[in-house]
Amino acid sequence: MTYLAKPKFHHPGLPKNALGYTHRDYEGSISTLCAGCGHDSITAAIIEACFELSIEPHKVAKISGIGCSSKTPTYFLGNSHGFNSVHGRMPSVLTGANLANRDLIYLGVSGDGDSASIGFGQFAHAIRRGVNMVYIVENNGVYGLTKGQFSATADRGSKSKRGLVNSDSAIDLVGIALQLGATYVARSFSGDKDQLVPLIKGAIEHEGAAFIDVISPCVAFNNHAGSTKSFDYVREHNEAVNRLDVITGRAPIKVDYAPGSVQVVEQHDGTKLLLRKLNADYDVSDRLAAMTFMQSHAAKGQIVTGLIYLDREPEDLHGNLNTVTAPLNALTDADLCPGSAALEKINASLR
Amino acid sequence: MPASPICSVNDFVVRFANVNGSGSASANELFARAVLRMGIPVSPRNIFPSNIQGLPTWYEVRISGDGHLGARGGVDLMVAMNPQTWDKDVTSIEPGGYLLYDSTKPLPTSKFREDITVIGVPLTAICNKEYSEPRQRQLFKNIIYLGALSALLDMDVAEIEKLFGEQFRGKEKLIPPNVNALKLGRDWALQNLKCPIGIRLKRSDAVGDRIFLEGNSAAALGAVYGGATVCAWYPITPSSSLADAFTRHCNRLRVDAESKQNKFAIVQAEDELASIGVVIGAGWNGARAFTATSGPGISLMQEFIGLAYFAEIPAVIFDVQRAGPSTGMPTRTQQCDVITCAYASHGDTKHVLLFPENPTECFEFGAHAFDLADRLQTPVFVLLDLEIGMNHHLCRPLKWDDSRRMDRGKVMTAADLDAGKDFGRYLDVDGDGIPFRTYPGTHPTRGSFFTRGTSRDRYARYTEEGAPYADNMQRLLRKFETAKDLVPRPLQANSGKPTKYGVIYYGSTSPAMDEAIHMIEAAGHNLDRLRIRAFPFHSSVASFIADHDFVYVVEQNRDAQLRSLIVNECSIDPVRLVPILHYDGTPITARFIARAIGDHIDTLKVTPLRKLVS
């Protein structure tokens, strides 16, 4: 069973957001993933991000593929419509949903098997089309539901729980997303909620293709010595380039950090992202530099996390297709049907 | 062997043999249109290779004053412009037929036949004398042979000139050179040849208010009228022109007058899997969405189609069929995806199929498919084929009732949910097997549900229990029963006399069948006819079969796919359904049908051996 109802009562003193909702209003049913699964931490981060942004829960559409990660949309935003589609095909379903109604927030949840193997093509094409979405990959380097086979993001030379050594090169989804024109690219670690929650908030506010690769250790099959996706390994090799705060509204920003250590980035919609720089030389607006930075650190075995790239003026698919501002699914007969008079003219032109 | 030249007014077949990429297509189409403007019904067919330049291509125009629009078979006049196919082209001419060729270079007599009339026109010489630019020489050569034909067949040349005017509206500079080229060919023929020849045209009024268009364009227009807003597709012959036509129609009919913004979204996807994924995502979210593809695309979409069936998401799929299996004959026609579509995807699935007979029905079914998909919350296939989709057909004008409204099916609104209506996504509240759905974003606290391809109970909660799974599968069958009365009914036409024999046919076989019936009756046989227009089959299909001893099922595939579907779904004894199958990639002809059915009836009437012996 992946459906377990959760009791609805809660402490009367739970904090409420601007809409009067508590955290509980953003939860889903009880997770059936393994105890300690990194994915549950990501679920918690999504709930926190939506709560803090005071998003109306039903204005989010959560869409996933197949796999452990793709099961998680059941565990958050219980008042949102969800769609657990087919393996590797979340991006196309999300693209279609987005075309139908541009007013909702589209949250795509996928895994490394779902996005880097069977769905690698769909991942790439949704990114290059600039679909306005939050695309989260819960990346554990392993197929969990089928018990521990390597996925395409497993590092070359890393060891499986059964002792096999992976001889295939790893696919770096962040590198691919950068290359294909994602306008918001981040990487985080499920064990670092403080870093992850603002990154998700920033991605939701971003009006373009936002991609977050979240390293999320699999406690059952990929948390051992020799794995490069274990809690210990990721903690030891984490190279965070910045810390993000997302500031909504028009409140003036007070910065009390050392000069040069903070960068304020205003997004197209007025949202401000406050970046506390951990690496003074890192510039999130330089895509080419970001790609070089990622590659040189990967060569050293370091996992770069934080906001990696941001385009402040993103384009999106609706803009490129020049669609009307009203959602397409709300257009009426009068909007859509040209009627009999137009048809008569067409008939006349065909004689 | 001498044969007397064929003499016929308004009833013959002209075939143009060309090289593709030489610009012949527009000249040939101009010929067909000019005949039509003379009030004479035509049915043109483009026979083309899967290639862009250099390979043989043919354009066949059947002229039929009696209005027969199916392929006839045989050629009365061959316009042989392709040396590559010369021998085959000359062989294909009917005895007593005519050959028009470029006589600039002399050919040995062995290259001709004695039983045909050979008409040489020095096209290249005329052309080279007049034009110096290679491209002009190539293009105007086509117009020059059109000019020669206008004299040989006694065409109304003013109609051709009028068509130039329409074709080059906005580019008027191009009209005089075309008129000049036409005159060059016409004058040469009038001065040097006996005009007209035995086959000729005479102005008539047999066209009426009918229109002339391709099925793909008509289906795309149906999608516009049917309220489709999202189209996702991947290029594949012979369906690409459907998506192209939708784009064209939308640019003209669906751009908001004030904002200049589009009331549609068209995505050329990375493959067919993504195309159907986009369609299903959009359908789930309440937009009317479709894809256009052909057999190989249907194969790729199988997994998603099963999802849409099981999760109950509206989707419209136009399948413009071509000859399979595998890549098959990509530019040849067949009705070979019937079973693939009817039972697409793994597990127990059944899908709604529509079988338009011509562009008019492509338009009607194209629009209706979106109502059916929304009403039934399931994928709906519109099965065209290359013959209907990519050729111009003379057909009834398109009609639209302005009082008609989109049927969005059972959709629960925020007001319904506030009123406390019980919402179970897979709950059958009134016995028709169709549950209510909600669009995402409808209500802050009610009506949300999780859509999945895994089993679930009536309230969309995941379950692997046997009873709710079986309950859901039974409801899907009830829904399919409901569909039988919603889809277009079969059309029956009875023979004037009582008969034990019937014939079932569908789709592009229609015009050939309409013509064949006259031939069959002339041979002294009578047949009642039933044209199936949709699957699931209406109850009248089983009763039609029950009313006859034998029923012929005429199809354009090898394996008698519709017959199998009838046997399977209506529990019919297969012996009672006699397959009549045509599957060489060319469109089925009346001659073929009449011969095949006639032969079978004759075998039935063989006197039993015992009687002969006694």
How far does the CA of residue B468 sit from the closest CA of chain A (Å)? 14
Average pLDDT of chain A, as a whole number: 92
Using a CB–CB cutoff of 8 Å, tell me whether A183 touches chain B: no
**pLDDT reported for residue A274:** 82
Q: Which chain B residue lies closest to A82 (C-alpha atoms)?
A: B450
Q: Are residues A43 and A190 in contact, defined by beta-carbon separation less than 8 angstroms?
A: no
Query: What confidence tier does A2 reach under pLDDT thresholds 50, 70, 90?
Result: very low
Q: Which chain A residue lies closest to B457 (C-alpha atoms)?
A: A3
Average pLDDT of chain B, as a whole number: 96
**pLDDT reported for residue B212:** 97
Using a CB–CB cutoff of 8 Å, tell me whether B213 touches chain A: yes
Residues in chain B: 614
For residue B206, being part of any structural domain is answered with no
ipTM for this prediction: 0.95
Instruction: Give the one of A57, A96, A325 whose C-beta lies nearest to B278's C-beta.
Output: A96
Q: What is the pLDDT of residues B187-211, one digit of tens each?
A: 999 999 999 999 999 999 999 999 9
Q: What is the pLDDT of residues B509-549, one digit of tens each?
A: 999 999 999 999 999 999 999 999 999 999 999 999 999 99
Q: Are residues B249 and B262 in contact, defined by beta-carbon separation less than 8 angstroms?
A: no
- Chain B residues lying within 8 Å of A82, measured CB to CB: 448-451
Q: Is the dihedral of CA B165, B170, B175, B178 positive or negative?
A: negative
Cα B454–chain centre separation = 36
- Quick one: B390 and B422 in the same domain? no
For residue A117, being part of any structural domain is answered with yes
End residue of a domain, out of B446, B461, B488: B488
**pLDDT reported for residue B39:** 98
Query: What confidence tier does B383 reach under pLDDT thresholds 50, 70, 90?
Result: very high
The number of folded domains in chain A is 1
Q: Which chain B residue lies closest to A19 (C-alpha atoms)?
A: B444
CA–CA distance, A238 with B292 (Å, rounded to integer): 47
The verdict on a CB contact (< 8 Å) between B463 and A91 is no
- Quick one: B520 and B417 in the same domain? no
Q: Which helix (H) or strand (E) holds B354?
A: strand B352-354
CA–CA distance, A315 with A206 (Å, rounded to integer): 10
How far does the CA of residue A32 sit from the closest CA of chain B (Å)? 12
CA–CA distance, B202 with B35 (Å, rounded to integer): 9
Determine the residue among B231, B278, B346, B426 to mutate to test chain A binding: the one whose Cβ has the most chain A Cβ atoms within 10 Å: B278
Q: What is the pLDDT of residues B293-343, one digit of tens each?
A: 999 999 999 999 999 999 999 999 999 999 999 999 999 999 999 999 999
How far does the CA of residue A257 sit from the closest CA of chain B (Å)? 40
Does pLDDT of B360 surpass 60? yes
**pLDDT reported for residue B108:** 93
Number of cross-chain residue pairs from A and B with Cβ atoms under 8 Å apart: 232
Using a CB–CB cutoff of 8 Å, tell me whether A64 touches chain B: no
For residue B25, being part of any structural domain is answered with yes
For residue B169, what are the domain limits? 8-200
- Chain B residues lying within 8 Å of A125, measured CB to CB: 269-270, 274
Does pLDDT of B610 surpass 90? no
- Quick one: B552 and B442 in the same domain? no
Using a CB–CB cutoff of 8 Å, tell me whether A54 touches chain B: no
Residue B480 region by backbone torsions, left for phi larger than 0, else alpha for psi between -120 and 50, else beta:
alpha
**pLDDT reported for residue A54:** 96
Query: What confidence tier does B551 reach under pLDDT thresholds 50, 70, 90?
Result: very high
Q: Are residues A74 and A39 in contact, defined by beta-carbon separation less than 8 angstroms?
A: no
DSSP 3-state assignment of B595? Answer: helix
For residue B450, being part of any structural domain is answered with yes
Place of tokens 């047999």: B206
- Quick one: B443 and B555 in the same domain? no
Using a CB–CB cutoff of 8 Å, tell me whether A20 touches chain B: no
- Quick one: B228 and B145 in the same domain? no
- Quick one: B34 and B178 in the same domain? yes
For residue B609, being part of any structural domain is answered with no
Q: Which chain B residue lies closest to A325 (C-alpha atoms)?
A: B261
Using a CB–CB cutoff of 8 Å, tell me whether A121 touches chain B: yes
**pLDDT reported for residue A275:** 84
Place of tokens 């699935």: B349
- Quick one: B464 and B543 in the same domain? no
Q: Are residues B542 and B568 in contact, defined by beta-carbon separation less than 8 angstroms?
A: no
β-partners of residue B58 are B17, B47
Determine the residue among A64, A123, A331 to mutate to test chain B binding: the one whose Cβ has the most chain B Cβ atoms within 10 Å: A331
CA–CA distance, B583 with B560 (Å, rounded to integer): 10
For residue A100, being part of any structural domain is answered with yes
Q: Are residues A151 and A221 in contact, defined by beta-carbon separation less than 8 angstroms?
A: no
DSSP 3-state assignment of A310? Answer: strand
For residue A81, being part of any structural domain is answered with yes
End residue of a domain, out of B467, B488, B509: B488
**pLDDT reported for residue A250:** 54
Prior bond of B238 cis (ω within 30°)? yes
Q: Are residues B298 and B351 in contact, defined by beta-carbon separation less than 8 angstroms?
A: no
Residue A332: count of CB within 10 angstroms of its CB: 11
CA dist B360 to A341, B210, B219, B394, Å? Answer: 17, 10, 8, 9
Does pLDDT of A1 surpass 50? no
Higher pLDDT, residue B23 or B84:
B84
**pLDDT reported for residue B320:** 98
CA–CA distance, A111 with B13 (Å, rounded to integer): 61
Q: Is the dihedral of CA B114, B117, B122, B124 positive or negative?
A: negative
Q: Which of residues 358-397 of B touch A (CB under 8 A)?
A: 397
How far does the CA of residue A67 sit from the closest CA of chain B (Å)? 12
Instruction: Give the one of B281, B443, B453 whose C-beta lies nearest to A58's C-beta.
Output: B443
For residue A7, being part of any structural domain is answered with no
The verdict on a CB contact (< 8 Å) between B264 and A351 is no
Using a CB–CB cutoff of 8 Å, tell me whether B448 touches chain A: yes
Using a CB–CB cutoff of 8 Å, tell me whether B439 touches chain A: yes
- For the CA atoms of B506, B512, B514, B520, the dihedral, rounded to the nearest 10 degrees, stands at -110
For residue B207, being part of any structural domain is answered with no
Q: What is the pLDDT of residues B489-515, one digit of tens each?
A: 999 999 989 999 999 999 999 999 999
Using a CB–CB cutoff of 8 Å, tell me whether B254 touches chain A: yes
Instruction: Give the one of A74, A331, A343 whose C-beta lies nearest to B450's C-beta.
Output: A74
Using a CB–CB cutoff of 8 Å, tell me whether A1 touches chain B: yes
Q: Are residues B275 and B234 in contact, defined by beta-carbon separation less than 8 angstroms?
A: yes
Listed residue (A150, A148, A155) closest to A169, CA to CA? A155
Q: Which chain A residue lies closest to B446 (C-alpha atoms)?
A: A79
The verdict on a CB contact (< 8 Å) between A100 and B259 is no
Q: Produce one character per residue of B470-497: b if its CB has 16 or more CB atoms within 10 Å, e if not.
A: eebeebbeebbebbbebbbebeeeebee
Burial class, B281, CB count within 10 angstroms (exposed 0-12 / middle 13-18 / buried 19+) = buried
Listed residue (A211, A208, A210, A201) closest to A132, CA to CA? A208
∠ CA A241-A242-A243, rounded to 5°: 150
| Domain containing residue B315: CATH number | 3.40.50.970
Q: What is the pLDDT of residues B89-103, one digit of tens each?
A: 999 999 999 999 999
CA–CA distance, A250 with A243 (Å, rounded to integer): 21
Does pLDDT of B131 surpass 90? yes
How far does the CA of residue A36 sit from the closest CA of chain B (Å)? 23
Query: What's the mean pLDDT in B110-128?
Result: 96
- Quick one: B360 and B496 in the same domain? no
CA–CA distance, A278 with A215 (Å, rounded to integer): 20
Residue B554, φ and ψ in degrees, nearest 5: -95, 125
**pLDDT reported for residue B194:** 96
For residue A272, what are the domain limits? 23-334
Query: What confidence tier does B2 reach under pLDDT thresholds 50, 70, 90?
Result: low
- Quick one: B445 and B425 in the same domain? yes
For residue B192, being part of any structural domain is answered with yes
DSSP 3-state assignment of B264? Answer: coil
Q: What is the pLDDT of residues A3-28, one digit of tens each?
A: 566 777 778 888 999 999 999 999 99
Query: What's the mean pLDDT in B242-258?
Result: 98
Residue B46, φ and ψ in degrees, nearest 5: -95, 120
Residue B227: count of CB within 10 angstroms of its CB: 23
Residues in chain A: 351
- For the CA atoms of A187, A192, A195, A196, the dihedral, rounded to the nearest 10 degrees, stands at 60
Q: In sequence order, what DSSP letters do the residues of A10-25 get, joined into one string?
A: --TT----TTS--GGG
Q: Are residues B319 and B294 in contact, defined by beta-carbon separation less than 8 angstroms?
A: yes
Q: What is the pLDDT of residues A271-298, one digit of tens each?
A: 788 888 888 889 999 999 999 999 999 9
The verdict on a CB contact (< 8 Å) between A99 and B254 is no
CA–CA distance, B590 with B580 (Å, rounded to integer): 12
CA–CA distance, B146 with B320 (Å, rounded to integer): 32
Q: Which helix (H) or strand (E) holds A214?
A: strand A209-215
For residue B360, being part of any structural domain is answered with yes
Contact partners, residue B106, CB within 8 Å, separation at least 6 = none
For chain B, give the percent of residues with pLDDT over 70.
98
Q: Is the dihedral of CA B57, B247, B507, B382 positive or negative?
A: positive
**Beta strand pairing status for B315-321 and B352-354?**
unpaired
The number of folded domains in chain B is 4
- Quick one: B455 and B530 in the same domain? no
Q: What is the pLDDT of residues B402-431, one digit of tens each?
A: 999 999 999 999 999 999 999 999 999 999
Q: Which of residues 289-348 of A touch B (CB under 8 A)?
A: 317-318, 321-325, 328-331, 333, 335-340, 342-343, 346-347
**pLDDT reported for residue B537:** 98
The verdict on a CB contact (< 8 Å) between A340 and B211 is no
| Domain containing residue A218: CATH number | 3.40.50.970
Query: What is the radius of gyration, based on Cα positions, of chain A?
Result: 21
Q: What is the pLDDT of residues B585-597, one digit of tens each?
A: 999 999 999 999 9
Q: What is the pLDDT of residues B445-470, one digit of tens each?
A: 999 999 999 999 999 999 999 999 99
Q: How many helices (H) does chain B have, and how many strands (E)?
A: 20, 23
CA–CA distance, A183 with A211 (Å, rounded to integer): 8
CA–CA distance, B563 with B578 (Å, rounded to integer): 8
- Quick one: B158 and B220 in the same domain? no
Using a CB–CB cutoff of 8 Å, tell me whether A260 touches chain B: no
The verdict on a CB contact (< 8 Å) between B451 and A84 is yes
- Chain B residues lying within 8 Å of A124, measured CB to CB: 270
End-to-end Cα spacing for chain A = 62
- Quick one: B112 and B98 in the same domain? yes
For residue B80, being part of any structural domain is answered with yes
Using a CB–CB cutoff of 8 Å, tell me whether B110 touches chain A: no
**pLDDT reported for residue B470:** 98
Question: Half-sphere exposure (CA, 13 Å, Cβ side) for B263?
Answer: 25
CA dist B533 to B352, B430, B572, Å? Answer: 11, 27, 19
